[in-house]
Each structure stands twice: as structure tokens, then as C-alpha cells.
Amino acid sequence: MEHPDFDVIIVGGGIAGCTTALWLARAGINTLLLERGTQAGSKNVSGGRLYTYALAQMLPDFIATAPLERCITQEKLSLLNGDSAVTLDYHHNLPCSYSVLRARFDPWLMAQAQAAGAQCLTGTLVDQLIMQQSQVVGVMAAGEALYANTVILAEGANTLLSEQAGLQAKPATSTLAIGVKEVRALPRAQLEERFTLEDDQGCAWLFAGQPTQGKVGGGFLYTNRDTLSLGVVCNLSSLSNSRIALPHMLQQFKQHPVIRPLLKNSELCEYSAHLIPEGGLDSIPPLCGPGYLVVGDAARLCINTGHTVRGMDLAMLSAQAAAETLIAHQALQHYPQRLQQSALWALIRQYRRLPELMLRSPHWFNRYPQLAADVLQEMFQVNGHAPTPLHKLLWRHARRIGLRQLLKDTVNGMRSL
């Protein structure tokens, strides 16, 4: 092998890449990070809720310096139908997660890695991995060969480099979702009034049903300081048999009577689309091999639990485990072992059945939202006739779905969550 130019080269300057760079640089490891975007975050999309426990481990005073938007104190989950919504609304005081905008957050994280001594080059596309006798020994970037003892693949959900080098197979469409997202500007005072927020409080709102027209997926809306992040995410294989394209779903979602007033007079300032790996444990590729480690979305370490989307915190945890393996001078195979002993793995294992359940039980997206709306409509409608007793009402609507189906979905749902 050529004499290595660096101890470690990291491909990708998203959350996983920058976190790895920061941990390694702090330990004095000669690290180069290459990011194709003109700045960190310029190619990244995230609905924007960051659970901060992993960040706090790395940068305990992050609250003072990180570009956080709002501390999430309101959780809402809605089943949306044509013109109605059934909503669970939970207010709390837990400072465990914040809305973030990646275009601000990622450059800040990269700056922390640079301050610790990592070399970070933006606007630099890695074209290919350099292999020698089945070992990754470096990368080709901007026509130049760069060599390292270890290459960390943090290229995100679109794993073109790893696939091209034969390090992982192209993922099945059923294991991927695609999200489209808008960031819309709204004056701070109006935003706080519309969402009943004070100071830096924020709202995280997830939706099922109408946003994806009954397909497997959902909508999201997060409040930032003076912007809203909203979008629609849909499983790729479910989308392939949809007559409606994803951008059109987003337009219809924005027109829903519950959403439209919240967006009134807001202005579009960013539009983006991105893949999300949602296949869970069974979709995880080899996490290491001769000369390389895989972290973050590139390792498919992202979970959509239905009530939370967790990719950014898991990207940080896998990056930390990869860095710790190298810092401890352990063989690369220790990285999967470290992950398997971590809370990240426990989470991924816990939700192992969920991705498949979602695909096998589309009722959660196309029938139950309507069922909930129909039951409530009858409960709240007053028309001069004697009301139907609740047990009869529930029985009648449950029979429409089929009791066997209802039972099966409930049991499978319980098992998967």
C-alpha cells in the first residue's frame, strides 16, 4: 500500500461524518473529511428534530453555542382525513430534543470538528474508493488519490460509493422512504401565536392518513425560531403503485383544513428531497471490512417508530462507536461489537419487526384514520335523534374493518412497538 496521507479519511460531512471527525481529531488522530456540498448541510435534509443526549456527551455545553431552533415541548400525533383530524396532544417540559435546521446545524458541527484539529474540505466529491487486494486504502477525489489507514463511509442514505465498490448491495425499495420538505418563513410572533408557544418552546407534529393518501408513510411539521419545516415521507415501494407523485401529496397536505391556516402568509424559503433508510435491523449492511467502517445512514441506522424519527442521534452514536474503536487501536471488527452492546442496537432490535409490519398492514395508513374520524363524527354529531350507545357505535365500526383483521393488526402492532 502507498504511504498513507492520513490516519483516517471520512467521506461525507453530515452528522455522522462531522461527529466522527470531531471525536478522532480530539484524540489527535490525523483526519481528513471530504464533503461534496459547498458547505456542510447544504445537501442534507431533515425534518429537523434532534434528540440531544448523544450531542451532550460530546459537547456538554452545546446549548450555549449550537444553532438550535426550539426546545420541543409539544408533541402532536394526528390521523388526518379529507377534512378532519383526530389528534393526540401532549405538552411537557422535557428538554431532551430541539428542532434544528441542517443548513445551520451541520456547518456548526463541522466547525467544532475543525476547531479540534480535523481537516474538512467542502465542495469535494469523492468519485471512487481505492481498493488494493480487496482492502479499501484511500479515495479518489477531484482527480487526486488520497490514502489512509482507514476510510469511514458516512455518505448518507444514497450509498453510491459503497455499492460501486461492492461493499454493500443496492438496498431494496421496500427498505427506503423518500421525503420532500419545505422550510417556510413565518414571523416569530405569528408562529408562536398559531402554535400557542412561548419563548423558545417548540412543537413536533406527525401525521398519518391524508398526507400520503393512505400510502405507507406520513407527514411532519416542526416549528423553528421563525420558520416551519413541513413535509411528507413515503415508503418507496408503496409510492411506486401510487397515482399521485410525492410533491403533489405535499401540496395536498398543505391544503388540509388543519394545516392551511397554520401556513397562511408563510413564504417558501427552502425545498428539498432525500432518501431515508427505514428497513431497520434486517437491512443493515456489513458495518466494516478491510480498511473501512460504515456509519450513520450509510449503515441504515435510522428508525421511524411512528411517533418519532431517529436518524441524527443514531448517526452520532454510530460515529462515536467508530471513532472509539480507532482511538482504542482496536481491530475494525470491534466496531460492530461496540454497536451491538450499545443503546442504539437495543433500539434497532426493539423495532425490528416494525418496517415489515407497516408494509404488511397498510390499514394503519388507509383505513384506521378514517375509522377514528367516523367514530368521532357520530359521537359529536347532535341531530335531535337519540345518540347511539358508545359500545354499539364502536362495534359497528369495528365490524366494517373486520374483527379478525382488527385483532391481528392490534396484536402485531403491540408486538412491533
Ligand X SMILES: Cc1cc2nc3c(=O)[nH]c(=O)nc-3n(C[C@H](O)[C@H](O)[C@H](O)COP(=O)(O)OP(=O)(O)OC[C@H]3O[C@@H](n4cnc5c(N)ncnc54)[C@H](O)[C@@H]3O)c2cc1C
Closer to ligand X at the Cβ: 51 or 412? 51
What is the H or E stretch that residue 374 is in?
A: helix 368-380
Task: Give the span between the Cα atoms of 123 and 13, in whole angstroms.
Answer: 10
CA-based diameter of the chain, in Å? 86
Q: For ligand X, which is the closer residue by CB, 55 or 326? A: 55
Question: Is residue 285 within the footprint of ligand X (CB under 6 A)?
Answer: no
75 lies in the binding site for ligand X (CB under 6 A): no
Examine residue 409 and tell whether it contacts ligand X (CB under 6 A): no
Is residue 184 near ligand X by the rule CB under 6 A?
no
Q: Is 237 helix (H, G, I), strand (E, B) or coil?
A: helix
Nearest to ligand X of 39, 366 (CB atom): 39
Note whether 244 and 213 are within 8 A (CB): yes
Which range in 48-56, 350-358, 367-375, 404-412 contacts ligand X by CB under 6 A? 48-56
Residues in contact with ligand X, total (CB under 6 A)?
A: 41
Q: Binding ligand X by CB under 6 A: which of 68, 101, 315, 372?
A: 315
Per the structure block, which three cell numbers stand in for 364? 394503519
43 in contact with ligand X (CB under 6 A): yes
Question: Does residue 230 bind ligand X (CB under 6 A)?
Answer: no
Q: Which of 138, 202, 214, 231 touches ligand X by CB under 6 A?
A: 231
* 192 vs 297, beta carbon nearer ligand X: 297
Among 156, 209, 217, 369, binds ligand X (CB under 6 A): 156
- Residue 239 vs 315, nearer CB to ligand X: 315
Q: Which of residues 238-277 bind ligand X (CB under 6 A)?
A: 274, 276
Is 10 among the residues that bind ligand X (CB under 6 A)?
no
Ranges within 80-139 binding ligand X (CB under 6 A): 125-126
Choose one: 5-13, 23-31, 59-67, 236-244; the region binding ligand X (CB under 6 A). Answer: 5-13
Amino acid 310 reads R
State yes or no: residue 218 binds ligand X (CB under 6 A). Answer: no
Indicate which single residue of 31, 44, 175, 212 sits in contact with ligand X (rule: CB under 6 A). Answer: 44
Asked if residues 298 and 153 have their Cβ atoms less than 8 Å apart, the reply is yes
Quick check: helix, strand or coil at residue 331? coil
3-state DSSP percent of the chain in helix, strand and coil, to 5: 40, 30, 35
Angle at which helices 390-401 and 403-416 cross, to 10°: 90
Q: CB-hemisphere CA count at 13 Å for 313?
A: 23
Q: Is 288 helix (H, G, I), strand (E, B) or coil?
A: strand
Among 10, 12, 223, 249, binds ligand X (CB under 6 A): 12
Q: Is 142 in the site for ligand X (CB under 6 A)?
A: no
Which range touches ligand X (CB under 6 A), out of 83-91, 148-156, 355-363, 364-372?
148-156
Query: Least distance (Å) from ligand X to the CB of residue 179?
Result: 3
Query: Is residue 138 within 8 Å of 9, Cβ to Cβ?
Result: yes
In angstroms, the CA 198 to CA 202 distance is 8
**Distance of alpha carbon 17 from the chain centroid:** 16
- Which backbone phi and psi does 226 adopt, to 5 degrees? -135, 30
Nearest residue to 150 via CA among 293, 339, 348: 293
Q: Which is nearer to ligand X, 230 or 373 (CB)?
A: 230
Distance CA 44, CA 272 (A): 8
Q: Please report, as ranges, the residues that interact with ligand X according to CB under 6 A.
A: 11-17, 34-37, 43-50, 125-126, 154-156, 161, 179, 181, 231, 233, 274, 276, 296-298, 302, 309-313, 315
